[in-house]
């Protein structure tokens, strides 16, 4: 059983290593300030996973967020290296402000454009990530427009 588990872990590791990986930052504004460490992992074909760990501040409060989004990516054939993507996934927020601390749980969507350069291992993206919060109360937040700058490993 241990050998089978080791083989599965090795196969998964090689699969992830064979696909594109991008690491960088995602900076947003609008209703406040937000900065996230961002990681993208290719899952094969036009699919990828994006995981972000961020800090946000707005209206006297601040929060840490963790989100993981499954994305589908599509090329825009009229412009080389330009594509668009759409995704969905969970988000967890740890909020402090006004002497209170809360946890928020929600489902986020994401819609954006990205461009990668031929001469540089850099990807730029511009997206919006609206969230539907389920806990501690039901609410909807349109999200902020964010600029992503990632190094392509």
Instruction: List pLDDT tens digits, range 29-64.
Output: 656 688 999 999 999 999 999 999 999 887 788 889
- pTM for the full model? 0.81
The reported pLDDT for the residue numbered 28 is 87
- Name the DSSP letter for residue 143: -
- With beta carbons less than 8 A apart as the criterion, state whether 115 and 123 touch: yes
d(CA 146, CA 119): 24
The reported pLDDT for the residue numbered 19 is 53
* Sheet strands (E) in the chain: 21-28, 33-44, 47-58, 61-75, 82-97, 100-116, 122-128, 131-135, 139-141, 145-152
* The CATH number of domain 2-152 is 1.10.10.10: no
**What are the boundaries of each domain within the chain?**
2-152
* CA pseudo-torsion sign 145, 31, 63, 138: negative
For 58-99, write each residue's pLDDT tens digit: 778 888 999 999 999 999 999 999 999 999 999 999 988 888
Q: Which residues of 88-102 are buried (b: 16+ CB within 10 A; e: fewer)?
A: ebebebebeeeeeee
């Amino acid at each position: 059983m241990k050998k089978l588990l080791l083989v599965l872990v090795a196969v998964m590791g090689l699969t992830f290593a064979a696909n594109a990986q991008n690491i960088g930052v995602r900076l947003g504004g609008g209703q406040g300030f937000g900065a996230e460490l961002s990681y993208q992992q290719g899952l094969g074909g036009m699919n990828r996973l994006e995981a972000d760990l961020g800090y946000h501040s707005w209206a006297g409060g601040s929060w840490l967020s963790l989100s993981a989004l499954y994305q589908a990516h599509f090329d825009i054939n009229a412009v080389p290296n330009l594509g668009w993507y759409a995704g969905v996934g969970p988000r967890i927020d740890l909020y402090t402000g006004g002497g209170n601390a809360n946890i928020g749980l929600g489902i986020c969507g994401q819609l954006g454009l990205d461009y990668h350069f031929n001469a540089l291992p850099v990807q730029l993206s511009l997206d919006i990530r609206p969230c539907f919060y389920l806990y501690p109360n039901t609410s909807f937040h349109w999200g902020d427009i964010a600029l992503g700058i990632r190094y392509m490993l």
